[in-house]
Amino acid sequence: MGRHEELRKEIDQIDRELVQLVEKRMKVSTEIAEYKLANNIPVLDAQREKKVINKNISYLTDRTLDSYISEFSKHLMELSRRRQKECLKQHTKTC
Ligand SMILES: C=C(O[C@@H]1C=C(C(=O)O)C=C[C@H]1O)C(=O)O
């Protein structure tokens, strides 16, 4: 196997793990949505999102990746909120 192929295999394995973790995160987010619905709490919590971004950046060892992780976290939470809203709207068993 050439080096390119070898590295792509590595990326594929990382993506598999990432997808599994994103799925897990989305499920927890959905549970939070249920709690919010029951307790009349809005989906967006801007303060919490700032903390999540800073926390995630702090996990990095490579400081040159700060802005990427900041952006990644923002995207992730945007999707998480979208999923929460979708679940609250439909309120089906799929969520
Ligand atoms: C999951 C929550 O809902 C929203 C999504 C967040 C996330 O995906 O981490 C964080 C804050 C909220 O805007 C939460 O309130 O914890």
Its ipTM equals 0.99
Q: Is residue 95 in a domain? A: no
Please report the atom of ligand 1 found closest to the CA of residue 79. Answer: 8
CA distance 59 to 70: 11
* Alpha carbon of 90 to ligand 1 centroid (Å): 19
57 touches 69 (CB < 8 A): yes
* Alpha carbon of 11 to ligand 1 centroid (Å): 28
Over residues 9-39, the pLDDT tens digits come to 999 999 999 999 999 999 999 999 999 999 9
Number of folded domains in the chain? 1
Q: Is residue 45 in a domain? A: yes
CA distance 78 to 25: 13
What range does the domain containing 59 cover? 3-90
Q: Is residue 32 in a domain? A: yes
How would residue 1 be classed by pLDDT, with cut points 50, 70 and 90? confident
Q: Is residue 13 in a domain? A: yes
Q: Is residue 60 in a domain? A: yes
| 16: CATH | 1.20.59.10
